[in-house]
């Protein structure tokens, strides 16, 4: 099989590796994400990525550049229904909140707070624990919901951003 070069919407190129022993399949790391590409009869690739929106995610967000570029926070907007479940929320200082990543079965402690713009943000670990470790990028769709039994926020990557071009050379 010929080498594969993949580009995202900003023309960032991927690295490519071959899955030895699995004929017709390639693994591509694009902007840090690993995806699997397989040849099909039309010579067009098939890309496998998460897509598991079960309808129970109360907050859905397509990530903006500012959510993944090192601003150290996830902007959640100015209205959060999860606040009804949180006791003694200090608007100025914020509060530590456990965020369980259902995809990786890991829990991280972030800080939820309200900014001067009246928007809520998650920070103090967002970039390290989610953006970098999950290799999130602009236009990925994430989901959040409150899980009452464990009194925590749950996170999932609903859908990776669309890859605009995959070129075969």
Helix (H, G, I), strand (E, B) or coil at 157: strand
Q: Which residues pair with 146 in a beta bridge?
A: 153
pLDDT tens digits for range 124-150: 999 999 999 999 999 999 999 989 899
Rounded to whole angstroms, the Cα distance separating 20 from 17 reads 9
Give the pLDDT confidence score for residue 70 in this predicted structure. Answer: 75
Give the CA dihedral 85, 88, 92, 94, nearest 10 degrees. -60
> Is the pLDDT reported for residue 104 higher than 90?
yes
Q: Please name the helix (run of DSSP H) or strand (run of DSSP E) that holds residue 29, with its range, or none.
A: strand 25-30
12-71 per-position pLDDT tens digit: 544 444 444 443 444 555 555 555 554 333 333 333 344 456 678 988 999 999 999 978
Does the model's pTM come out above 0.75? Answer: no
């Amino acid at each position: 099989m010929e080498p594969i070069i993949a580009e995202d919407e900003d023309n960032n190129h991927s690295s490519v590796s071959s899955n030895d022993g699995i004929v017709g399949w390639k693994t591509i790391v694009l902007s840090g994400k690993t995806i699997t590409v397989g040849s099909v009869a039309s010579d067009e690739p098939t890309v496998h990525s998460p897509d598991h929106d079960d309808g129970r995610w109360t907050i859905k967000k397509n990530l903006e550049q500012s959510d993944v570029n090192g601003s150290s926070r996830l902007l959640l907007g100015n209205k959060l229904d999860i606040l009804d479940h949180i006791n003694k929320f200090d608007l100025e200082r914020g509060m530590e909140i456990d965020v369980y990543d259902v995809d990786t079965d890991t829990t991280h402690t972030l800080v939820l707070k309200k900014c001067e713009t009246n928007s809520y943000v998650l920070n103090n670990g967002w970039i390290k624990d989610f953006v970098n470790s999950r290799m999130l990028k602009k236009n990925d769709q994430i989901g959040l919901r409150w899980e009452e039994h464990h009194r925590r926020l749950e996170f999932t990557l609903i859908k990776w951003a669309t890859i605009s071009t995959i070129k075969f050379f």
